[in-house]
Amino acid sequence: MQYQPTQRTTVRRLKKRAVYDKAAVHAILDEGFICHVGFVVESQPYVIPTIYARRDETLYFHGAVASRTLKTLATGVDVCLTVTLMDGMVLARSAFHHSMNYRSVVVLGNARPVQDPEERLLALELITDHAVPGRWDEVRGPNELELKQTSVLALPLKEVSAKVRSGPPVDDDEDYSLPIWAGVVPMETHVTKPLDDGRVLPGVAPPNLARFKRFVKRAD
């Protein structure tokens, strides 16, 4: 299944990198941690980083009720949300043909405030477990005051496109004879040994790195 490109989400430059396949888009969103949310207030653009989580065709993100960002987005202003994963630096023989291997998603639409108590709690659980799988069941859940201080927004995956670059550099034919190294320098996100906060009770073990499923093969 695919997202139907719209006038706003159709990739026009380097069309071969365009991806509208839902499974591919979901995979990028599920691997990422941070999204950037763009919006405009009184002709002033803002781009704010935040954590998020996906459930089916909805993205959830949250913040303080007092946050200007969350207050503004809750009014239904136009939103542009992006997620980008870096896979490598692409080094060519010419400066012009240097590039990056990446996977990115752009979502356009309008966020809605999540009012239903069950959906709000589910969204907070999804966001928590998106960062650390299984963490929600280990920790103290939010109390009534904390819930009152937290705003949750939902953004539907309707106008969506992805863009992906992979593979080696593509040089001009005449440049292949130059004595210059060219290729890809891979880049990976990985987890390392957990560092406790100095107040962990005796006998309490740190999380197993295998729980970070996205990075289990790359863990130190």
Q: Could you give the percent of the chain with pLDDT greater than 70?
A: 96
- Nearest 5°: phi and psi at 120? -65, -45
Examine residue 5 and state whether it is found in any structural domain, yes or no: no
Examine residue 195 and state whether it is found in any structural domain, yes or no: no
Q: Per DSSP, what are the bridge partners of residue 113? A: 153
Q: What is the domain-level CATH number for residue 147?
A: 2.30.110.10
d(CA 115, CA 113): 6
Q: What is the pLDDT of residue 219?
A: 41
Question: What pLDDT, in 10s, does the model give residues 111-163?
Answer: 999 999 999 999 999 999 998 989 999 999 999 999 999 999 999 999 999 99
Examine residue 86 and state whether it is found in any structural domain, yes or no: yes
Examine residue 198 and state whether it is found in any structural domain, yes or no: no
Examine residue 197 and state whether it is found in any structural domain, yes or no: no
Number of domains in the chain: 1
Q: Which residues have C-beta within 8 Å of that of residue 169, sequence separation ≥ 6? A: 90, 91, 92, 93, 97, 98, 99, 182, 183, 184
Examine residue 61 and state whether it is found in any structural domain, yes or no: yes
Examine residue 215 and state whether it is found in any structural domain, yes or no: no
Q: What is the pLDDT of residue 4?
A: 87
| pLDDT tens, residue order, the chain (220 aa) | 999 888 887 877 767 788 889 999 999 999 999 999 999 998 999 999 999 999 999 999 999 998 888 899 999 999 999 999 999 999 999 999 999 999 999 999 999 999 999 999 999 999 999 989 899 999 999 999 999 999 999 999 999 999 999 999 999 999 999 999 999 999 988 888 899 999 999 999 998 888 876 665 544 4
Residue 162 CB-density burial (10 A; 0-12 exposed, 13-18 middle, 19+ buried): buried
Q: Which two tokens stand for residue 27?
A: 């995979």
| Coil, helix or strand at residue 79 | strand
Cβ distance 156 to 76 under 8 Å? no
Q: What is the pLDDT of residue 107?
A: 97
Examine residue 116 and state whether it is found in any structural domain, yes or no: yes
Domain with 169 in it: 15-187
